[in-house]
Amino acid sequence: MFDQIKTMGAIAGLLKNRDQIQAAGERIQARLESMRIDGECEGGLVHAVVSGKMQVLSITISDSLAFGMKTSEDRSLAESLIAEAVNHALKKAQVAVTEAIDEEGTALGLPGLGEQLGQILPR
């Protein structure tokens, strides 16, 4: 409870300096935009890359998987693997986002900010 009160006090102090908050927000946005987090499944049969803004940037299906797609069951399996790879990349992206916010929060005197915000973000 005292940690939350301490954090709230730090936030109130920061509100006096909106320029500092805005600059930190801009740094976070730039970091999120430049992040590239990858996920894969089944030993690399499907590979997904997402940004820190949780946007899927690319999906790659290995040649061995694409070559073998002859039936609707094969396609269904590929789609399932793609979903698994994207979800893996997004989970890793959420961790990276939390870490980025934590770093900025610590620099602003708000340690643990990313973790606190992470409780609000969808998982």
CA dist 115 and 71 (Å) reads 45
Please check whether residue 58 lies inside any domain of the structure. yes
Contact by Cβ (8 Å): 89, 44: no
- 51: domain CATH number? 3.30.1310.10
Tens digits of per-residue pLDDT, 48-107?
A: 898 888 888 888 888 888 887 888 888 788 888 888 898 899 889 888 888 888 888 888
Helix then strand then coil, in percent of the chain rounded to 5, is 65, 15, 20
Tens digits of per-residue pLDDT, 98-108?
A: 888 888 888 87
Tens digits of per-residue pLDDT, 36-47?
A: 999 998 888 889
pTM here is 0.60
Domain encompassing residue 105: 2-118
> How many helices (H) and strands (E) would you count in the chain?
5, 3
pLDDT of residue 117: 67
Query: Which position has the token pair 């590929």?
Result: 78
Please check whether residue 25 lies inside any domain of the structure. yes
Please check whether residue 123 lies inside any domain of the structure. no
pLDDT of residue 62: 87
Please check whether residue 49 lies inside any domain of the structure. yes
pLDDT of residue 36: 93
**Residue 121 pLDDT exceeds 80:** no
CA dist 121 and 77 (Å) reads 30
Between 121 and 26, where is the model more confident? 26
**Residue 118 pLDDT exceeds 70:** no
**Residues near 58 by beta carbon (within 8 Å), at least 6 away in sequence:** 47, 48, 49
Count of the separate structural domains present in the chain: 1
